[in-house]
Structure 1
Amino acid sequence: MKFIIKILFLLLLLQACTEDKHPENYHIINFDFDSFSEVEKLKGQKLDIPDFIDPRRILNLKDYLVVSDDKADFPILILDKKTNTVINKMGVNGRGPGEIGYIWNIKDSGADTSFWVYQLEEKQLSEFTVNQTTAFTKSVIEFDSKKNKMYSGDNIAFSSDTSYMMKMSYGKDKFVEFNEKGRPFKFYDTWAHMRDNPTPDNVISALYNGTFKNDNSRENFILASIDVDVIELLKKKDNEIISLRGPVHFEPKFSIDYSAGVPLLAIDNKSSKYMYLDAAFGKEFFYALFSGDKSYPCGDIFVFDYEGNPQKHYQVDRKIKQFDVDETDGKIYALTGGDPQPNIIIFDL
């Protein structure tokens, strides 16, 4: 009888261990290079725009490109897509009224001629328009109060004209939606189920750091991680997350450093590699720029539909570090990387 009870106990334990630990609305899709039917080579046209020193971020608008270059006299440059020329420059570095700090990324406002730049250190969003006549920002949204839960986020995207989606760096929640007053009103997923072993939430968040963006509808959000090859697609309307794992299923060796009094992620530099450097949304598909080794600029772009199914694998003929996509005109606009004379390069889809 005791033997039978032990067997039943072991069976229950095995069942508990094999049950899916993830929430019902969290779906994992594993893929590898063979998941794409073919590799399509893309040949680019590199522009020769003398205004750039070290362009870092790029945003595609309807008729314009917005590029950030913190080493230039003005850190924001506006290009006309028809003429491929710089038509405006703006942004004043500093901490005074109308000035901006280090540009972490450029955010689409949902309009054809305006955009926001996000400054992580200042916890600040600054608005600009492509044709403004002043170099200073038009308006500013600040999240500078440590009593504000938004202060615990490390990346932001717009979920409407008056609300924001944040990827959280502290606390149990992964994505949190805030109203314009900085109050959280909806929570999407948590960090705990992302790892088998108990790990502090902020350490998991740091491990999955990367590009965080919204699409034009502000219903879909993407987190493309730079240290692990994981892409998380949040579909707000369906309250669903699709987690794309691949193509090499890599995680760096790391430890947890408590020397500062709080647990912090400490990645072993010898084992670290770059995974996803950037991501972009189109109307039909979303795109992810993949490295897979220690090279920061890279040349592989994966394409997925909004159900997470692998669609295409592009290989570009020049190494790039950031990009955006214009599906209407069938073009990829990118910034060259590892280039002594970095510039914009255009690929036809």
Structure 2
Amino acid sequence: MFKNFIVIFCVLAIFSCSSENKNSTGEITFSFDSFPKVKELVGEKYVYDSILNAREIILKEEYIIVSNLGGNGKQLHFLDKNTLVYGKAVGKIGEGPGEIRSGIWELDAGLAKDSFWAYDLNGKSSYEFLLNDTSPLANRTIRQNEAWFLGYSMHWKSPNEIISYVTRDSYQFGIFDTLGNRTGSIEPWKKEEQVDEQTGYLLSNLYQGPIDYNPKNNILGHAAIQFEYFQLMNLNSGQSISLVGPKNYEVDYTVEQQGNELLAFVSEETKKGYSDIFIGEKSVFLVYIGKTSSERKKTGINSDMIFEFDMEGNPLTLYKTSVSISAITVSEKDRKIYALTSDKDPGIAVFKY
């Protein structure tokens, strides 16, 4: 059993930020007081009988699209972005052509104007759905092959490049073409040398959490859910920012050998980090948890805070929400945040910010 094993691998490149807020590992620290503005958000809430276990939410053209995790019903639900009126459901569970194998773990707006993508983690498949198609089946399916099998997410970088969080790897992300061939890598776990497969597996599990990518500005964001940490990577310049906060505690965890694997276990007393991240064109938004598992259970609140940063990692605004939320999508043009609520009667809350 080993304590604080991970810190030696977390020396990450920093750019465009003042060095006075860097800690010993090169990460930028911030606190609640770092936000120049604090704003209360009171949302208008909508509840739908067909969306009882929502996981992800995205904005695409005139639609809000919500994934409903589990069950045998349709997995993807369309709402009008202006009225929040329920439109249609697609994404049939099954083994046939265009059907979803198990359930939708992640959504990506994709590159085409008239479609979006849904990722089935357990089924190792990505599905393209057309916005205005009446069919409940996917228009296109990409299945991960053996070379890509250890990828755990999908975001489109270009028409033939998909970014995927990888495990058992010296890098955090791999780039794959649509045939499953690996064409590149993003952000090594350790700058000076490659880490082995076992360490890569341990780190990918320890740092797992929400991911988002904006192909318009080529910013990739990755946040940890088990503790306070998130990273912004500029794929144009190859530079990255790692940020820690707002409470700046020491992460209490152990690393244990189980069979042939090294596994990291974060203490139950550690405050959780982030349950979602949204990369906009001008700002980055994060859903901050800031509670232990027992505190979340006791209060019934996952998060009632959203942080807004600029693209250089500077804190802009701390938003306090009127209802507990778990995931968000943002219309910067309309200055609206659409959030999945995690209260007694879960639904969709719309906040004007």
CA contact (8 A) 1:336 1:343 kept: yes
> Which residue pairs with 2:333 in the alignment?
328
**Structure of higher CA gyration radius:** 1
With over 3 angstroms needed to count, the CA separation of the structure-2 counterparts of 1:315 and 1:229, relative to structure 1, is same
Instruction: Check 1:188–1:144 CA distance in 2 against 1; reply closer, same or farther (3 A cut).
Output: closer
SS in 2 for 1:209: coil
Aligned length: 323
1:155 maps to: 153
What is the correspondence of 1:140-151 to structure 2 with a 5 Å cutoff? 140-145=141-146, 148=147, 150-151=148-149
Q: Would you say the 8 A contact 1:163–1:179 is kept in 2?
A: yes
Match of 1:274 among 250, 272, 289: 272
Correspondences of 1:147-186 after superposition (within 5 Å): 148=147, 150-186=148-184
> For residue 5 of structure 1, what is the aligned residue in structure 2?
none
Cα distance in 2 for partners of 1:72, 1:251 equals 42
Q: Distance in 2 between matches of 1:286 and 1:45?
A: 22
Give yes or no for the alignment of 1:56 onto 2:55: yes
State the distance in 1 between where 2:217 and 2:94 align.
Answer: 31
Contact residue 25 and residue 239 of structure 1 kept, 8 A: no
Residues 155 and 272 of structure 1: CA distance in aligned 2, closer, same or farther (over 3 Å):
farther
Residues 1:223 and 2:222 are matched in the alignment? yes
Residue type of the alignment partner of 2:170: K
1:345 paired to 2:349: yes
State the secondary structure of the residue aligned to 2:149. helix
Counterpart of 2:185 in 1: which secondary structure?
Answer: strand
Q: How does 1:63-78 map to 2 (within 5 A)?
A: 63-70=62-69, 71=71, 73-78=73-78
Cα offset for 1:99? 1.4
Deviation at 1:38, TM superposition (A): 2.8
Structure 2, unpaired ranges of 5+ = 1-8, 16-25
Equivalent residue number for residue 108 of structure 2? 107
Q: Contact (CA 8 Å) 1:99, 1:136: kept in 2 or not?
A: yes
2:11 maps to 22
Q: Is contact 1:153–1:170 with CA below 8 Å preserved after alignment? A: no
Could you give the per-residue CA deviations for residues 59-117 of structure 1, whole angstroms, max 9, x where no partner exists? 11121000111347211111112332121111111233221122111111133431111
How far apart, in 2, do the equivalents of 1:72 and 1:324 lie?
Answer: 25
Cα distance in 2 for partners of 1:300, 1:74 equals 31
Instruction: Compute the RMSD of aligned alpha carbons.
Output: 2.4
Structure 2 counterpart SS, 1:34:
helix
Over 3 Å counting, the alpha-carbon distance change for 1:102 and 1:250 in structure 2 is farther
Identity rate, percent: 27
* Residue-by-residue CA offset, 1:31-50 (whole Å, 9 max, x unaligned): 11111123110110011433
CA distance in 2, matches of 1:182, 1:76: 25
Amino acid paired to 1:69:
N
| Closer/same/farther in 2, CA of residues 86 and 37 from structure 1, 3 Å limit | same
CA 220–250 in structure 1, closer or farther in 2 if over 3 Å, else same: same
Unpaired runs of 5+ in structure 1?
A: 1-19
TM-score (norm 2): 0.85
Which residue of structure 2 lines up, in the alignment, with residue 237 of structure 1?
236
Alpha-carbon offset, residue 153 of structure 1: 2.2
Partner of 2:11, secondary structure, is: coil
